[in-house]
Amino acid sequence: MRKLLIEEMNRLSIDEFKESDKFPFVIVLDNIRSLNNVGSFFRTADAFRARKLILCGYTQQPPHREITKSALGAENSVIWEKEESTLSAVEKLRSEGYRILSVEQAEGSTLLQNFEPAKNVPYAFVFGNEVEGVADEVIAASDGCVEIPQFGTKHSFNVSVSAGIVLWEFVSKNLT
């Protein structure tokens, strides 16, 4: 066994990516402070062919050296928007037919392994601030919350790690 060379991986070009079919979801960032995390979200959005990434509140936007360092160019392939208010972004997405799910530990949340996406329904996954999580008013405006089970001493994952877990679960259930 050997590692594949980049040329053997058959990755899309940026133009091919932009023209490709996307999975039926968008990512909403609610006041993410770490630029490294923002860059990681761009890479995850690229890897799972998100429709777009919405940067809300004080979440920084490209171009920025620290975002580029972890995005590795994904900020050029992924469609993104900047919104001042996460709540406004969520309300706009709802009016466009999206089902809004906050990724948060909350009363009545659905454990990720029990989450079954509805067919032919687009989703918006809201990821919150590294310390405060998703804002209470955004949770209240969501259709629900999904929660990643955890079995150690810490009460949370890094937010960009959470994105990889949640979005893989969603995409894998849309592959069948």
> pLDDT tens, 90-135?
999 999 999 999 999 999 999 999 999 999 999 999 999 999 999 9
What pLDDT shows up at residue 56?
A: 98
Mean pLDDT of the chain: 96
- Write the pLDDT tens digit of every residue in 29-56: 999 999 999 999 999 999 999 999 999 9
* pTM (predicted TM-score): 0.95
Strands of 80-83's sheet in order across? 80-83, 52-56, 25-30, 123-128, 99-103, 144-147, 110-111
Kindly list the structural domains of the chain, giving each domain's residue range(s) and its CATH number in brackets, ordered by start: 20-174 (3.40.1280.10)
Region at 89 (left for phi over 0; alpha for psi -120 to 50; beta for the rest): alpha
Residue 100: closest CA among 50, 48, 27:
27
